[in-house]
């Protein structure tokens, strides 16, 4: 049998709980260490390992499950400190994210908050209009290609976003959840032009109907992933 480790990283402390093969439960905590929360997480685990008479490496090598909760993504959204994202969408639909839908202002609000909805302002989009590009292409609701993707123009649009300094690219095309071929091709183009950029495809992240919701979800993924992936890689590398 092996250990089960659970860690929660908060704004003040990183808490660790370990269940031994015999069912004994041990816990400890360490101060959180923003911006690199991995340091505090590993320290909390090390403190519990010490109670077991093990090194951090020994405990982790004998761990069957490692559960981890964190507010890194939430903090990134609240502080608006995510990646600079560029958006590729179907030509003629570049403003879908900016315009949003009626639900955009009330999603997630309580009934009391909805009463005052007229006093609310629309949030600033995570992707400014200058970093949104329309790709000449069109797929219909049955997945049939109506307008083949213009590959030459698409490559130029990707290069424009790269020159603009984006750190991630979100791709959300019409009806791509029915036929993802055009999105997949754009993903390959982005990786070919700028291999270090993170690419988020709506057909993988949120393959569902309704353009605004799908695009917004894909953009959020692109906005958060570069920060959270860097953080998680530090843990994995250990």
Do the beta carbons of residue 179 and residue 171 sit within 8 Å? no
Tokens 């329309």 locate to: 134
* Interval 130-180: pLDDT, tens: 999 999 999 999 999 999 999 999 999 999 999 999 999 999 999 999 999
Domain assignment of residue 15, given as a range: 3-70
| 221 in any annotated domain | yes
End position of a domain, from candidates 39, 70, 101: 70
**pTM assigned to the model:** 0.83
Same domain, 174 and 63: no
Task: Name 106's Cβ contacts closer than 8 Å, sequence gap at least 6.
Answer: 113, 114, 117
Q: What is the largest CA-CA distance in the chain?
A: 66
* Interval 156-166: pLDDT, tens: 999 999 999 99
């Amino acid at each position: 049998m092996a250990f089960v480790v659970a860690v929660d990283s908060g704004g003040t402390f990183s808490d660790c709980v370990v269940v031994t093969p015999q069912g004994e439960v041990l816990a400890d905590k360490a101060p959180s260490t923003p911006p690199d929360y991995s340091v505090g997480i590993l320290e909390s685990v090390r403190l519990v390992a010490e109670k077991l008479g093990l090194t951090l490496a020994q405990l982790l090598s004998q761990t069957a499950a490692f559960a981890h909760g964190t507010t890194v993504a939430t903090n990134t959204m609240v502080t608006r400190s995510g990646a600079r994202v560029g958006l590729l969408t179907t030509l003629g639909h570049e403003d879908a994210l900016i315009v949003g839908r009626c639900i955009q202002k009330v999603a997630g609000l309580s009934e009391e908050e909805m009463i005052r909805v007229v006093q609310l302002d629309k949030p600033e989009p995570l992707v400014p209009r200058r970093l949104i590009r329309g790709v000449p292409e069109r797929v219909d609701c049955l997945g049939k290609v109506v307008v083949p993707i213009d590959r030459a123009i698409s490559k130029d649009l990707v290069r424009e976003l790269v020159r603009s300094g984006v750190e991630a690219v979100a791709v959300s095309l019409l009806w791509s959840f029915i036929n993802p071929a055009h999105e997949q091709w754009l993903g390959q183009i982005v990786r070919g032009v700028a291999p270090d950029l993170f690419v988020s495809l709506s057909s993988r992240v949120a393959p569902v109907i309704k353009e605004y919701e799908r695009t917004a979800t894909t953009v959020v993924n692109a906005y958060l992933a570069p920060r959270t992936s860097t953080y998680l890689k530090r843990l994995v590398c250990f």
